[in-house]
Amino acid sequence: MSTHWCITLISSTDNEETAYSAARAVTASYSDVRPPVLTIEEAIKQGMVFPKQADDIVMGDAEGSASS
């Protein structure tokens, strides 16, 4: 199982130029970078699939449900 991180920059500025400047100043470095998984077969080999799908998929009237 892998862990994914999201880095968010929140900048309170008076103008767009300062915000872009702050965003460009951020650097990130990564370790333990692995090659991307590009096919279903590779994902299965690496155990990167959900073990079970939902049992209760129901087909219905989407338009009727939305209008209620």
- What are the pLDDT digits (tens) for 6-53? 666 666 778 888 888 888 888 888 888 888 999 989 998 988 887 777
Q: Is the pTM of this model over 0.75?
A: no
CA 29 to chain centroid: 18
Kindly tell me the sign of the dihedral angle through the C-alpha atoms of 45, 49, 55, 58: negative
CB 13 within 8 A of CB 22: yes
Residue 5: predicted pLDDT = 62
Tokens of 23: 């965003």
pLDDT range class, residue 68, cuts 50, 70, 90: low
Residue with the two structure tokens 């090659």: 35
